[in-house]
Structure formats: structure tokens, C-alpha cells
Amino acid sequence: MYRTGILLAATLFSGAAAAYNPFHIYNQVRVVNNSEATVSAVTVVHKPSGRSYSCDEIKPLRVCTHYFGKRRFDPGPFEVTWTYDGDASRTETFDVKVPAFFPTGIALQGIVDIDPEGNASFRNEQYTPL
């Protein structure tokens, strides 16, 4: 009977461990214009949900930020469109990788960087409390 109880307890604990599924959260999307030209018509689209974030115009060396409540992070795919110096541009769809060392309890910030040549890249940041 004692062995049956231990076996039952071990089964319950292993089932609980298998059910643990941590996930990342995010609470903002920022578009950073690191160029000397105005960037306009910027749209970041999360393809599965159709959720999008847009900025009409971002002056040189400025940021457009969208804040919202904490949401479960879904890695994508995403797509970014923008106009730089009069030319429309678009990224290929891409999935976002979250670094393994980012803890799950602290919100991520999705950041789109427009470089001085007008190209876009995506990264995540996470601010850890002091």
C-alpha cells in the first residue's frame, strides 16, 4: 500500500510538471527612426491575429511607441511596411526569437529599428527591475 501511495504521488507530480508551460508577455511596440530622413506609413502586422501597430510619420532620430496592457507573446510571423525617403519598403514575413535568458515574468518590448539606409530590423528588449 505504501508503494502504491508513493507511485501515485510521483505520477501526480510528474503530470503537474509536464503541464507547466511558461510564456512571455509583451506590453509595447516601438518603431525607432535611426536615420536622418522622415519615415512614414510604418505598419507592424502580426499575421496570425491581424493585430497591427502603425505610425503615420516619424521624424529623424525619433520614436513612435504603442503601449497596451500585457498580452501573451506569439512569435509571429510578423511583417513590417514603411516609406523611407519616398520609397515604399516591406520586410519578408519573419518569426521573432526571444533570447532564452529572458525571464517569462517580465514584459517584452518589441522594437523595429529603421537604420540610416532605411532598412528595418526587429528585436526584443526587456527591462529587469532593480
The reported pLDDT for the residue numbered 76 is: 84
Spatial separation of the C-alpha atoms in residues 3 and 35, rounded to whole Å: 69
The reported pLDDT for the residue numbered 105 is: 86
Ordered per-residue pLDDT tens for the chain, 130 residues? 555 555 555 555 555 555 666 889 999 999 999 999 999 999 999 998 899 999 999 999 999 999 999 999 888 899 999 999 889 999 989 888 888 889 988 999 999 999 999 999 999 999 876 6
Q: List, in order of start, the domains of the chain with CATH numbers.
A: 23-126 (2.60.40.2890)
Q: What is the DSSP letter of 93?
A: P
